[in-house]
Amino acid sequence: MTIEMDKYRDATVMRLSGEIDMYSSPGLRKELLSLVAERVSPLIVDFRGVSYIDSSGIATFVEGLKGMRSFGGRLKFVAVPEGIMEIFTFSKLDRVFEIYGSADEALSG
């Protein structure tokens, strides 16, 4: 998995690609929690290049969202591939995570 940080309008964007699994999740967690500690908001996570996410990846985002909510920050997901969306829907997390089609939608939502 690779993480690229970017800026789009007033938001910070985290672009992910590859597999988010039990080997790569600790690195993602470190990055995510350091953004939470800096109170970066809104944070847009772009899933376009993500081919797979396992339960450790989902747990990492649950931890990230919990941290964001602790200071009123917003975590927004964009371009979530269908297979990953199915897993979010199954676990009902599609109604907890804010999910948008694009960064523009995320910023107006």
Partner 1 sequence: MMETAIEIRDLVTHYGDREILRDVSFSIPRGRTTVILGGSGCGKSTLLKHLIGLLRPTKGAILINGMDITVMKEEELNGVRKRMGVLFQGAALLNSMTLADNVALPIREHTRLEESTIQIMVRMKLDLVGLSGFEDFYPSQLSGGMKKRAGIARAMALDPEFLFLDEPSAGLDPVTAAGLDELILKLRNVFKMTIVAVTHELSSLYTIADHVVMLDRGQVIFKGSLEGLRASDDPRIRGFLNRRPEAESYSPEDYFRFIAGD
Residues binding partner 1 (CB under 8 A): 21-23, 25-26, 29, 54-56, 58-60, 62-63, 86-87, 90-91
What is the C-alpha to C-alpha distance for residues 36 and 58, in angstroms, rounded to an integer?
17
The answer to whether 88 touches 94, Cβ cutoff 8 Å, is yes
For the CB of residue 14, give the shortest distance to partner 1 in the complex, in Å: 18
Q: φ, ψ for residue 84 (rounded to 5)? A: -75, -35
Question: Which residue, 27 or 49, is less far from partner 1 as judged by CB?
Answer: 27
Both tokens of 30, joined, read 């470190």
For the CB of residue 25, give the shortest distance to partner 1 in the complex, in Å: 6
For the CB of residue 68, give the shortest distance to partner 1 in the complex, in Å: 15
What is the C-alpha to C-alpha distance for residues 95 and 103, in angstroms, rounded to an integer?
18
Question: Which residue, 86 or 104, is less far from partner 1 as judged by CB?
Answer: 86
Question: Which residue, 26 or 109, is less far from partner 1 as judged by CB?
Answer: 26
